A and B are shown apart, each in its own frame.
Chain A
Amino acid sequence: MYKYNDFDEAFVRERVAQFSAQVSRRVDGSLTEDEFRPLRLMNGLYLQLHAYMLRVAIPYGTLNSRQMRALALIADTWDKGYGHFTTRQNIQFNWPKLTDVPAILSALADVQMHAIQTSGNTIRNVTADHFAGAAADEITDPRPIAELLRQWSTDHPEFQFLPRKFKIAITGSPHDRAVTKAHDIGLRMVTNDAGETGFEVIVGGGLGRTPLIGHVVRAFLPEADLLPYVEAVLSVYNLLGRRDNKYKARIKITLHETGAAELTRMIEDRFAELKPTFSGADQHLLADIRAAFATPVFKTAPTKAHDALRASDPVYRSWADTNLAPHRNPDYAIVQVSLKAPGATPGDASSDQMRTLADLAQFWGHDELRISHEQNVILPHVHKGDLPAVHAILKKAGLATANIGLISDIIACPGMDYCALATARSIPVAQQIAQHFDALDLEHEVGEIKIKISGCINACGHHHVGHIGILGLDRAGVENYQITLGGDATESAAIGEKAGPGFAYDEVVPAIDRLIRAYLTLRLEPTETFLTAYRRLGPAPFKAALYPEERDRDAA
């Protein structure tokens, strides 16, 4: 894992000192809220519905055990004993007091973490495939590039006042687990005909009020050109991006207003100017960073404990079959730890659970943890012989729910339970759907399905790319939920289509129930997933299930 050098350390400490002084000046009245607000946002501090909220970056979703324990300590000391993992690989603390935030930032700095650029019109936390460095299907670990981008973008003077926020995601696998097509820049590692690795550069994707799938501006970018190319994209956007209208300020709108061909030409021209100014220092730095991400030394040991327990214990088998993913080393597995026990708040972990996860990573997981954009925790390197022990401990901590990729593994934003921007709640909708299908014991039969819920049009809950998307709105002072169908967050990305009129708060679970029962009837065989069935049949039979009154009326 990357370790801060003296420069990083001094920079983060200096920022903590600056922010401490800014908080003091706000409290003694020397700074007005208008003056203070941009300063606190630069350091990830929002004012939400009931309290302040501190958003802490987990760069490319990677944590070690010491960092996870520090998050638990912060939750216990300055918050209410838990943290919320988000769809952008951040953790949010929902209850800090303003005057405690400098101490929290200092505690984060002790473990090489910070909240810098988790808000504001800057380049945000660079997110990555949560299986990076472990996945069987990966070309190479994308995290060294993500770390290079983090260092380059942090406090980059040219990109501190962009027209709008800017999100970059990266994956080293052809199978996209990082939603690269719905980011301002998506980087997908590919191999060319000569066998060299490079990147497919996707620009102008994004969700929110104008959901768009990104456009490929470069099909193959040699790895060594990555930084000047990304800088060229940012540079063109910084100049063209609209500052007159917040809702038209993202690069996806720039791309559509300028035209993909023209924008691509401008990026290539700027790249041609910038490339010679890169002396190669970035490549030296990248080589050093790479060394820090060296593959762990995997052990050779028997794996039969796993096979034996899988054969004899149905609970363990269900967990293993649902929550494990293939590791590049066949004796190892990627363990996905669900933060979605039925009735739990998606993405929330208590401080005790964080410490349990830290212990597991330290003793059985080569000291590595990942946070997925799907709001779960990953132990990327666990030897199969150790899986029974890991499972037993997870079970004790309430962390062994076998539902990864199933109907109760729901992405949900904080919604109106916390967020000042929300127009409706998301968390209780997620809880009720999960509990409903758990009570029916139906979710393994339903199989792979992604439900994603946002509490407002900004789409932090990625509802547009959910197989079933749910968007909470305020319709004349009442919560109302719009359902979209057929979205996809992977390499075959698609924006879901609005099914029809919205549903009242207490009509959402029955509507989802009708939809799922229709799918179970319509599918050709149990292996045909909801999304595949939707693609085969189109929306009509699913809409008919959602709106039976309309179907009955048409038939009459």
Chain B
Amino acid sequence: MSRFTPKVVTANALLEGDVVYFTEDGRWSRHHTEAELIEDEAHAQLRLLDASAQRNVVVGAYLADAKAGPRGPEPVHFREAFRTRGPSNYAHGKQEDPQNV
């Protein structure tokens, strides 16, 4: 049986479109490190349902692969890594605030 890859729930904020992450206490954070790292598949599905229910706060919630890091969960795939920062051609998006990098 293949091991479950840990996940975070992520989406875009309805008003700004900014990338957000679902926390353990059911908030939406702008920081990947504050996301709940979900290590169980059944729990992941439940958390995705909880997150998707907040349909007037976020758009397009989904589960993304993640791994534990020293400051909290970190992305695995490069697409998710870009989403934590912003584009590479200008320092726009999350990386505008140096706290986010």
Residues of A within 8 A of B (CB): 26-27, 29, 32-33, 47-52, 80, 94-95, 97-99, 345, 348, 416-418, 425, 427-428, 431, 474, 477-479
Q: Mark B77-93, 1 if CB is under 8 A from A, else 0.
A: 11100110011111011
Q: Mark B12-28, 1 if CB is under 8 A from A, else 0.
A: 10111111000000000
Among A33, A95, A478, the residue within 8 A (CB) of B59 is: A33
Contact A50/B18 with A477-B78, A479-B78 known, Cβ cut-off 8 Å: yes
Q: Give CA–CA (A32, B18) in the complex, Å.
A: 19
Q: How far is the CB of A235 from chain B (nearest CB, A)?
A: 35
B56: A residues at CB distance < 8 A: 27, 29
Q: How far is the CB of B100 from chain A (nearest CB, A)?
A: 12
Are A428 and B89 closer than 8 Å at their CB atoms? yes
Q: How far is the CB of A475 from chain B (nearest CB, A)?
A: 11
Q: Does B60 contact A (CB under 8 A)?
A: yes
Residues of B within 8 A of A (CB): 12, 14-19, 55-56, 59-60, 76-79, 82-83, 86-90, 92-94
A27: B residues at CB distance < 8 A: 14-15, 56
B92: A residues at CB distance < 8 A: 50, 80, 94-95
A-B contact count (CB 8 A): 74
- For this complex, 6 residue pairs linking A to B, each with C-beta atoms less than 8 Å apart, are A26-B14, A47-B59, A50-B92, A80-B90, A94-B87, A478-B78
Q: Nearest residue in B to A95 (C-beta to C-beta)? A: B92
Are B82 and A49 closer than 8 Å at their CB atoms? yes
Among A26, A32, A98, A417, the residue within 8 A (CB) of B88 is: A417
Q: Give CA–CA (A425, B19) in the complex, Å.
A: 18
Q: A416-B79, A416-B82 are in contact. List 17 more A-B contacts (CB 8 A).
A: A29-B55, A32-B55, A33-B59, A47-B60, A50-B19, A50-B86, A50-B94, A51-B16, A51-B17, A94-B87, A98-B15, A98-B16, A348-B89, A417-B89, A431-B89, A474-B79, A479-B78
Among B76, B83, B87, the residue within 8 A (CB) of A477 is: B76
Q: Give CA–CA (A295, B16) in the complex, Å.
A: 44
Q: Give CA–CA (A348, B92) in the complex, Å.
A: 14
Q: How far is the CB of B19 from chain A (nearest CB, A)?
A: 6
Among A29, A33, A52, A348, the residue within 8 A (CB) of B17 is: A52
A95: B residues at CB distance < 8 A: 92
Q: Give CA–CA (A97, B88) in the complex, Å.
A: 21
Q: Give CA–CA (A78, B78) in the complex, Å.
A: 29
B87: A residues at CB distance < 8 A: 50, 94, 417-418, 427
Q: Nearest residue in B to A51 (C-beta to C-beta)? A: B17
Q: Nearest residue in B to A99 (C-beta to C-beta)? A: B15
Q: Give CA–CA (A474, B82) in the complex, Å.
A: 14
Q: How far is the CB of B61 from chain A (nearest CB, A)?
A: 10
Q: How far is the CB of B12 from chain A (nearest CB, A)?
A: 6
Are B77 and A477 closer than 8 Å at their CB atoms? yes
Q: Give CA–CA (A95, B83) in the complex, Å.
A: 14
Q: How far is the CB of A417 from chain B (nearest CB, A)?
A: 4
Q: How far is the CB of B15 from chain A (nearest CB, A)?
A: 5
Contact A47/B78 with A33-B55, A52-B17, A427-B89 known, Cβ cut-off 8 Å: no
Q: Give CA–CA (A33, B15) in the complex, Å.
A: 12
Are A51 and B18 closer than 8 Å at their CB atoms? yes
B88: A residues at CB distance < 8 A: 417, 425, 427-428
Q: How far is the CB of A102 from chain B (nearest CB, A)?
A: 13
Q: How far is the CB of A480 from chain B (nearest CB, A)?
A: 11
Q: Nearest residue in B to A430 (C-beta to C-beta)? A: B89
Q: How far is the CB of A141 from chain B (nearest CB, A)?
A: 36
A80: B residues at CB distance < 8 A: 90, 92
Are B89 and A47 closer than 8 Å at their CB atoms? no
A474: B residues at CB distance < 8 A: 78-79
A348: B residues at CB distance < 8 A: 89
Q: Which of A50, A51, A95 has the largest count of B CB atoms less than 10 A from its CB? A: A50
Q: Give CA–CA (A26, B59) in the complex, Å.
A: 11
B77: A residues at CB distance < 8 A: 477
Among B79, B82, B93, the residue within 8 A (CB) of A51 is: B93
Q: How far is the CB of B89 from chain A (nearest CB, A)?
A: 5
B12: A residues at CB distance < 8 A: 47, 51
Q: Give CA–CA (A52, B59) in the complex, Å.
A: 11
Contact A33/B60 with A27-B14, A417-B89, A477-B77 known, Cβ cut-off 8 Å: yes
